[in-house]
């Protein structure tokens, strides 16, 4: 019956499409793309009218009078226009919104000319404005969706046994995390891919926490957090070291927006949907030129009794809108599921219900060939869309009703998935929620798609042992070293797992009970609010009986004073000797002494990170915020009892202390370069050495004090560091 009804609807839709003249408008006149699509309905009153050519358009040939709008209720309407930065898209903006329920007759007169001299012929088409405001339908949909997710959580909630973190924390100053902050626990740490994890952990109703955007290091320590008053999602780094996150409200979606921040965490832009649509928090994709893809949900009243036997005549059906906007917030491209999908394409959907969500787009991105890729959860489908024309290029999913691919080795497929994307090797990754697997379980998957022959091969998948199941949210990101970072979604305590190509766990993070995440990103990051003179301090080989100090200089690069309230590290071999807090005026610096003193810790290689924290309040001084900067610390110990033996087989510096002249002898290899640094980390002398196992160094012009002699030997990766006292 469903297939019969779908064929009937498709036939009617095709007939209306032909009658609308859309084939004439787009096929015979040379326009590559027209929005709204001729003959379309349920268009917002704020809609712009866009035309795109396959070649550049002469700006001098454009005129606002070229477009005539005759509205069935509003009468004639004038337009402003802009030629987009791509030089191919003309956007006409009516001087006022259209009226609900009216039909718009569009005439674009002959005269627009391309660079090649082609003059575009006149075209005429129409579209229909929706009957009424639908923001209340959208709010009700979001409320119902949240209740559905919470119902699943309540019915499946378990109280977990929290594992102990693999690393202890050594703190300095007033190191206090807010009482409503969700502190994670690292339960596996085995050489994860470098970088920071960006996330928006979200507490369920009743959990004793607030919403935060966070940047975490490999130990789970925050180098940034920002408390927020509403729900947040998809906090991540974008181009030019900017940050972005979505702030949204389910009961009041009209306030939804994307915030853009610079690397000093200042708010510099706000992104909205165009054409009267409301931001949805499920997806964004930022491009280097400032263009961005956004998602909106579009509920419309539909008489489902004419679509499906027993359907509700007053149903609210939720469509999907994809837009590409430029850096000036112009809508360059708009794609609507109403024009390309059938309502009955949804899987496991009750078509007799009062509210029907048949698409539920939950990710949007670009493919390697610059086409649009979306994940359609309720259709069990990943869809590729032509970014220039809006045509559907293919539909992929073992269980999707319109799947176009043959699966060579996968009988499971993905079910109600999230986070579809194409990765650098050309394959496609998906987070498979596995809602309708038997039994349900979640996993990350990777497919090799032959887009010419339409075949799909499963080349990798990972499910946790024991199995983890999240009915909603989640992500599967491939890292540059071929590791995979999986966010498990609406579940706890395990939130994120990083595995290598052999599915061995490299890193795992737990959150407290009733805290979950939508996605997680592993990215590089350094704040621009304040800087350090070191990214890494390598103390070299330690063979002494006293601490080795190095001074870290922090420079305040902001327009306001900052206070380093606290600091932390993990290994007792390193310590901060400077008392905190320390306030730094704008554009000023302060010094912080970091010691390496591995007394009694045996012979080993040490690697740690020290974090300098600036804690403050944001907004009306009620929202907690932390901004931090980290310095990596390295050093290697040698048992002091074997110093003499070490000197004989390694490198010697004599005399020490010295009044000026120093002799350097190497027993391990030819000396290649000698660098002298003070305790501030400043290089005060650097001497290349042509060859030889001995070298005389004159330090007579240096002030008395402590210096570090770094000796680079040929064919040795690590420098040998000697502490020297000049007096």
Integer angstrom CA distances of residue 695 from 564, 648, 661, 677, 688: 43, 16, 11, 17, 10
pLDDT-derived band at 136, boundaries 50, 70, 90: very high
CA–CA distance, 324 with 333 (Å, rounded to integer)? 5
Percent pLDDT > 70 in the chain is 92
Assign 543 a pLDDT band (cuts: 50, 70, 90).
Answer: confident
Question: Which H or E run contains 645?
Answer: helix 643-649
Count of alpha carbons within 13 angstroms of residue 689, beta-carbon side:
23
Does position 7 have pLDDT exceeding 60, yes or no?
Answer: no
> Which of the listed residues 523, 547, 574 is the one where a domain comes to its end?
523
Is the pTM value of this prediction over 0.85?
A: yes
User: In this predicted structure, what is the pLDDT of residue 727?
Assistant: 83
Paired with 257 in beta bridges are 247
Q: Taking 50 as the threshold, does the pLDDT of residue 180 lie above it?
A: yes
Residues 476, 238: Cα–Cα separation, whole Å: 18
Inside any domain, residue 64: yes
Last residue of a domain, one of 523, 549, 568: 523
Are 54 and 30 in contact by the 8 Å Cβ rule? The answer is yes
Least-confidence region, from 18-32, 263-277, 625-639: 18-32
pLDDT for the residue numbered 311: 98
The model's pLDDT over 39-49, given as tens digits with 9 standing for 90+, comes to 999 999 999 99
Domain CATH for 628: 2.60.40.10
Write the pLDDT tens digit of every residue in 229-286: 999 999 999 999 999 999 999 999 999 999 999 999 999 999 999 999 999 999 999 9
Find where tokens 């012009």 sit.
Answer: 701
Whether 593 and 507 map to the same domain: the answer is no
Q: In whole angstroms, give the CA distance from residue 435 to residue 306.
A: 30
How far apart are the C-alpha atoms of 409 and 461, rounded to whole Å?
Answer: 12
One domain for residues 396 and 473: yes
CATH number at residue 704: 2.60.40.3080
pLDDT classification of 608: cutoffs 50, 70, 90: very high
What is the structure's pLDDT at 29? Answer: 61
How far is residue 201's CA from residue 212's CA, in Å, rounded to a whole number?
7
Q: Would you place residue 516 in the very low, low, confident or very high pLDDT band (cuts 50, 70, 90)?
A: very high
Q: What is the chain's length?
A: 727
Range among 130-139, 613-622, 687-696 rated most confident? 130-139
- Cis? peptide before 499, omega within 30° of 0: no
Would residue 617 count as lying in a domain? yes
pLDDT of the residue at 726: 87
Cα–Cα distance for residue pair 42/15, rounded to 1 Å: 18
Q: DSSP letter string over 425-493?
A: TS-EEEEE--TTSSS---EEEEEEEETTTTEEEEEEEE--SS----SS--EEEE-TTS-EEEE--S--S
- The answer to whether residue 161 sits within a structural domain is no
Cα 204 to the center of its chain, rounded Å = 22
Q: How confident is the model at residue 157 (pLDDT cuts 50, 70, 90)?
A: low
Query: Mean pLDDT across the chain, nearest whole number?
Result: 91
Task: Tell me what the mean pLDDT of segment 336-363 comes to.
Answer: 98
The number of domains in the chain is 4
pLDDT at 302 over 80: yes
Query: Token pair 């080993």 is at which residue?
Result: 604
Note the pLDDT of residue 717.
64
- Is the pLDDT score of 161 beyond 80? no
Report, as an integer, the average pLDDT of 481-502: 97
Alpha carbon of residue 563 to chain centroid: 29
Tell me if 707 is assigned to some domain: yes
pLDDT for 122 beyond 50: yes
Give the pLDDT confidence score for residue 337 in this predicted structure: 98
**365 and 394 together in one domain:** yes
DSSP string, 168-201: --EEEES----TT----EEEEESSPPSSEEEE--
User: Alpha-carbon distance 622 to 482, whole Å?
Assistant: 41
Residue 21 has pLDDT above 60, yes or no: no
- Whether residues 605 and 680 share a domain: the answer is no
List, for residues 695-712, the tens digit of each pLDDT value.
888 998 899 888 888 888
Q: Is the pLDDT of residue 10 over 50?
A: no
Averaged pLDDT, 678-690: 81
Mean pLDDT of 117-146: 95
CA 544 – CA 232 distance, rounded (Å): 51
Q: Are residues 350 and 472 in the same domain?
A: yes
Q: Which of 343, 353, 394 lies closest to 371 in space, CA to CA?
A: 394
The confidence score (pLDDT) of residue 154 equals 66
Helices (H), ranges, 421-550: none
Asked whether residue 202 falls in the same domain as residue 316, the answer is: yes
Instruction: Check whether residue 279 and residue 384 sit in a common domain.
Output: yes
- Separation of CA 19 from chain center: 44
The span from the CA of 261 to the CA of 719, in Å, is: 39
| Span 134-139, average pLDDT | 96
Question: To the nearest whole percent, how much of the chain has pLDDT over 90?
Answer: 76
For 669, the domain range is 650-726
Q: How many CA atoms lie within 13 A of 297 on its CB side?
A: 30
For residue 356, tell me if it sits in a domain.
yes
Least confident of 149-158, 178-187, 626-635: 149-158
Query: Residue 641's pLDDT is what?
Result: 52
Q: How far apart are CA 505 and CA 166, in angstroms?
A: 14
* Rounded Cα–Cα distance for residues 555 and 681 (Å): 14
Tell me the pLDDT band of 18, cut-offs 50, 70 and 90. Answer: very low
In this structure, of 246-260, 315-329, 706-720, the range with the lowest mean pLDDT score is: 706-720
Containing H/E element for 154?
A: helix 135-156
pLDDT of residue 156 exceeding 80: no
Q: How far apart are CA 534 and CA 630, in angstroms?
A: 9
Above 60 in pLDDT, residue 4? no
Provide the pLDDT for residue 5: 45
Please determine, for residue 678, whether its predicted confidence score (pLDDT) is greater than 70. yes
For residues 363 and 326, give the distance between their C-alpha atoms in angstroms, rounded to a whole number. 19
Instruction: Indicate if 479 and 368 belong to the same structural domain.
Output: yes
* Predicted local distance difference test score (pLDDT) of residue 680: 76
Closest CA to 614 of 625, 605, 630: 625
For residue 475, pLDDT beyond 80: yes
Residue finishing a domain among 128, 144, 170: 128
The answer to whether the CB of 635 falls within 8 A of the CB of 544 is no
Q: Is 476 helix (H, G, I), strand (E, B) or coil?
A: strand
Bigger pLDDT: 546 vs 513: 513
CA separation for the pair 150, 156 (Å, rounded): 10
The Cα 328–Cα 235 span in angstroms is 22
Same-domain check for residues 430 and 515? yes
| Residue 661 resides in a domain | yes
**What's the number of CA atoms in the CB half-sphere (13 Å) around residue 684?**
19
Are 108 and 147 within one domain? Answer: no
- Same domain (yes/no): 123, 210: no
pLDDT at 683: 85
Check residue 160 and give its pLDDT.
62
* Least reliable range by pLDDT among 481-485, 540-544, 716-720: 716-720
160 within domain boundaries: no
- The arithmetic mean of pLDDT across residues 535-555, rounded, is 89
End-to-end C-alpha distance for the chain, whole angstroms = 95
Q: Does 642 reside within a domain? A: no
Tokens 């559905």, residue located: 148
486 and 583 fall within a common domain: no
- For 189-216, write each residue's pLDDT tens digit: 999 999 999 999 999 877 899 999 999 9
Taking residues 528-547, report their average pLDDT. 89
Q: If DSSP states are collapsed to H, E and C, what string results for 667-717? A: CCCCEEEEEEEECCCCEEEEEECCCCCEEEEECCCCCCEEEEEEEEECCCC
| Residue 15 pLDDT | 39
């Amino acid at each position: 019956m469903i297939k019969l009804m779908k064929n009937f609807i498709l036939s009617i839709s095709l007939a209306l499409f032909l009658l609308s003249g859309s084939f004439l408008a787009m096929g015979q006149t040379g326009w590559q793309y027209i929005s709204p699509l001729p003959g379309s309905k349920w268009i917002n009153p704020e809609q712009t009218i866009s035309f795109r050519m396959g070649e550049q358009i002469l700006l001098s040939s454009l005129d606002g009078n070229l477009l005539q709008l005759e509205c069935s209720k509003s009468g004639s309407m004038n337009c402003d226009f802009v030629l987009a930065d791509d030089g191919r898209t003309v956007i006409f903006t009516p001087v006022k919104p259209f009226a609900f329920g009216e039909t718009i007759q569009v005439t674009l007169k002959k005269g627009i000319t391309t660079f090649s001299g082609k003059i575009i012929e006149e075209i005429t088409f129409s579209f229909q404005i929706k009957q009424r405001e639908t923001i209340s339908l959208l709010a009700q949909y979001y409320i119902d969706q949240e209740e559905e997710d919470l119902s699943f959580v309540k019915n499946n909630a378990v109280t977990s046994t929290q594992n102990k973190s693999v690393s202890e924390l050594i703190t300095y100053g007033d190191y206090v995390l807010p009482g409503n902050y969700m502190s994670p626990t690292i339960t596996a740490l085995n050489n994860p891919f470098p970088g920071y994890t960006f996330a928006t952990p979200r507490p369920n109703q009743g959990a004793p926490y607030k919403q935060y955007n966070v940047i975490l290091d490999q130990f789970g320590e925050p180098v940034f957090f920002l408390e927020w008053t509403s729900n947040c999602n998809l906090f991540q780094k974008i181009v030019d070291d900017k940050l972005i996150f979505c702030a949204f409200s389910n009961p009041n979606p009209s306030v939804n927006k994307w915030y853009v921040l610079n690397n000093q965490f200042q708010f510099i832009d706000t992104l909205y949907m165009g054409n009267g649509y409301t931001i949805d928090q499920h997806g964004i994709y930022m491009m280097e030129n400032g263009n961005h893809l956004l998602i909106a949900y579009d509920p419309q009243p539909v008489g489902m009794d004419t679509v499906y036997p027993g359907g509700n005549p007053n149903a609210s059906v939720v469509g999907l809108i994809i837009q590409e906007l430029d850096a000036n917030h112009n809508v360059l491209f708009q794609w609507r599921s109403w024009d390309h999908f059938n309502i009955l394409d949804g899987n496991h959907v009750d078509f007799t219900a009062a509210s029907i969500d048949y698409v539920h787009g939950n990710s949007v991105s670009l493919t390697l060939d610059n086409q649009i890729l979306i994940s359609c959860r309720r259709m069990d489908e990943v869809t590729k869309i032509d970014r220039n024309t809006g045509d559907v290029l293919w539909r992929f999913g073992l269980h999707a009703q319109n799947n176009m691919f043959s699966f060579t080795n996968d009988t499971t497929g993905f079910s109600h998935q999230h986070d579809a994307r194409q990765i650098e090797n050309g394959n496609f990754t998906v987070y498979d929620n596995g809602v309708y697997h038997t039994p349900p379980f979640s996993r990350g998957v990777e497919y090799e798609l032959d887009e010419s022959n339409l075949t799909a091969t499963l080349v990798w998948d990972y499910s946790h042992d024991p199995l983890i199941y999240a009915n909603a949210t989640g992500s599967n990101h491939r890292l540059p070293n071929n590791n995979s970072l999986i966010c498990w979604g609406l579940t706890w305590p395990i939130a994120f797992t990083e595995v290598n190509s052999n599915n061995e766990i490299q890193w795992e993070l737990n959150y407290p009970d009733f805290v979950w995440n939508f996605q997680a990103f592993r990215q590089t990051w350094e704040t621009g609010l304040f800087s350090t003179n070191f990214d890494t301090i390598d103390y070299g080989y330690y063979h002494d009986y006293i601490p080795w100090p190095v001074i870290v200089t922090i420079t305040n690069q902001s327009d306001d004073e900052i206070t380093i309230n606290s600091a932390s590290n993990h290994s007792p071999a390193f310590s901060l000797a400077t008392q905190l807090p320390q306030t730094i005026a704008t554009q000023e610096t302060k010094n912080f002494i970091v010691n390496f003193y591995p007394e009694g810790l045996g012979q080993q290689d040490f690697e740690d990170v020290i974090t300098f924290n600036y804690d403050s309040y944001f907004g009306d001084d009620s929202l907690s915020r932390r901004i931090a900067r980290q310095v990596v610390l390295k050093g290697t110990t040698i048992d002091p009892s074997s110093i003499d033996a070490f000197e004989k087989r390694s490198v010697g510096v004599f005399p020490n202390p010295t009044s000026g002249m120093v002799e350097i002898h190497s027993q391990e290899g030819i000396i290649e370069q000698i660098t002298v640094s003070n305790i501030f980390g400043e290089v005060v002398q650097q001497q290349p050495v042509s060859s030889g196992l001995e070298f005389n160094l004159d330090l007579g012009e240096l002030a008395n004090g402590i210096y570090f002699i770094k000796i680079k030997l040929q064919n040795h990766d690590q420098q040998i560091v000697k502490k020297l006292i000049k007096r």
